[in-house]
């Protein structure tokens, strides 16, 4: 599957500009809940989702605006949800960490650390049991990979040969804890994954083309009947859950490093080198910004849920 690099750039732009506008809304106190920004990791979401088909399912975690948009989710509905509006994905009652778009097979996102992994395993089991087309892909972070349920899921997926792809977005920090402070020197993701019976692939999460190439191979492996793990080493540009750039605990967290690792700039340079004109890219960037602002304006003018809806959609044991 050869990627359309210009189309990929457009998707990554949509995610980046949307996130930047969400930052503005957050700073203006229009968003009253936690928000985990995806800036810097766009190549992972787009690179993987470009390797999937419409019938393939996607599940995400607390930092999943990019996954939702990369799979084709509606931006206006997403912004409306973050603003607590009735027109949102969960009628304004779910917020940033609870998104779903069944029309494009975004099954849902969950903020509980590692919880997306067994849920995705259940989804993959259903697909195999019902002999349905498609695979299930779950996105989660390096910190969540250390949860015991990940190893249990990998074992079960390998045992039953489930159509499951686990994408680990390794941005090197679990909140602000470094890998070396959490893992022994002998900790080896590849040995863990292959030892449990799944295939392992690794990509540069700052490079769309590398992510996409490895995702295509991983997806092909899953479609052949073997679960797989794709580890993408990325760089989260902001703090864990706030629009803060300069963090002292990340020695490499300087503007120069962020710009060098910026996946959008890398794709843009590649497009220019392949003959796409600066004028065309500027026009695309302007059009994308206009579309995002239109969605934000629509969300800001949308109504809040009625008070009577406060207790709807609740479940009691």
What number is the average pLDDT over the span 87-93? 89
Q: What pLDDT, on the 0 to 100 scale, is given for residue 237? A: 76
149-168 residue pLDDT tens: 999 999 999 999 999 999 99
Would you place residue 26 in the very low, low, confident or very high pLDDT band (cuts 50, 70, 90)? confident
The domain that holds 148 is classified in CATH as 3.40.50.970
Choose among 120, 117, 107, 103: nearest CA to 146. Answer: 117
Q: Is the pLDDT of residue 292 over 50?
A: yes
The verdict on residue 95 lying in a domain is yes
The pLDDT assigned to 259 comes to 76
Query: Could you tell me which of 169, 168, 218 has the C-alpha nearest to residue 198?
Result: 218
Task: Please state, as a whole number, how many other Cβ atoms lie within 10 Å of the Cβ of residue 150.
Answer: 23
- For residue 265, give its domain range: 5-236+247-304
Query: Are residues 140 and 62 in contact, defined by beta-carbon separation less than 8 angstroms?
Result: no
The tens digit of pLDDT for each residue in 128-153 reads: 999 999 999 999 998 888 889 999 99
Residue 317 forms part of a structural domain: no
Nearest to 174 by CA among 245, 249, 104, 122: 249
Asked if residue 316 is part of any domain, the answer here is: no
pLDDT at 251 over 70: no
Does residue 241 fall inside a structural domain? Answer: no
Distance CA 58, CA 73 (A): 11
SS3 content of the chain, % helix, strand, coil (to 5): 45, 10, 40
* Counted domains in the chain: 1
The predicted pLDDT at position 99 comes to 87
Mean pLDDT score across all residues of the chain: 90
Residue 244 has pLDDT above 70, yes or no: no
Is residue 167, in this structure, part of any structural domain at all?
A: yes
Q: Which two tokens stand for residue 246?
A: 């300069």
pLDDT at 221 over 80: yes
Domain membership of residue 154 (yes or no) is yes
Residue 314 included in any domain = no
pLDDT value at 2 more than 60: no
Residue 242 in domain: no
Above 70 in pLDDT, residue 245? Answer: no
pLDDT higher than threshold 70 for residue 252 = no
Residue 1 has pLDDT above 50, yes or no: no
User: Is the pLDDT reported for residue 250 higher than 70?
Assistant: no
């Amino acid at each position: 599957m050869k990627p359309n690099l210009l189309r990929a750039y457009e998707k990554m732009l949509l995610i980046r500009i949307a996130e930047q506008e969400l930052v503005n809304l957050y700073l203006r106190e229009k968003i009253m809940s936690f928000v985990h920004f995806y800036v810097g990791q766009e190549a992972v979401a787009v690179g993987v989702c470009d390797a999937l088909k419409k019938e393939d399912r996607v599940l995400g975690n607390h930092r999943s605006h990019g996954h939702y948009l990369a799979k084709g989710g509606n931006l206006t509905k997403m912004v409306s949800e973050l603003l607590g509006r009735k027109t949102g994905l969960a009628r304004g009652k779910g917020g940033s960490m609870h998104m779903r778009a069944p029309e494009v097979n975004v099954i849902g996102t969950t903020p509980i650390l590692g919880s997306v992994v067994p849920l995705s395993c259940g989804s993959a089991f259903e697909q195999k049991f019902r002999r349905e087309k498609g695979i299930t892909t779950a996105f989660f972070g390096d910190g969540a990979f250390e949860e015991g349920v990940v190893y249990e899921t990998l074992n079960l997926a390998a045992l039953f040969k489930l159509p499951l792809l686990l994408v680990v977005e390794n941005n090197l920090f679990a909140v602000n804890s470094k890998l070396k402070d959490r893992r022994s020197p002998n900790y080896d993701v590849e040995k863990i994954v292959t030892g449990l019976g799944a295939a392992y692939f690794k990509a540069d999460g700052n490079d769309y083309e590398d992510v996409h190439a490895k995702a295509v191979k991983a997806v092909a492996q899953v479609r052949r009947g073997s679960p797989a793990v794709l580890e993408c080493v990325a760089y989260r540009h902001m703090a864990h859950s706030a629009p803060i750039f300069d963090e002292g605990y990340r020695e490499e967290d300087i503007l120069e490093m962020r710009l060098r690792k910026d996946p959008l700039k890398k794709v843009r340079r590649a497009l220019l080198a392949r003959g796409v004109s600066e004028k065309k890219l500027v026009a695309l960037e302007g059009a994308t910004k206009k579309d995002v602002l239109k969605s934000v304006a629509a969300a800001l003018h949308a109504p809040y849920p009625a008070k009577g809806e406060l207790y709807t959609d609740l479940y009691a044991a």
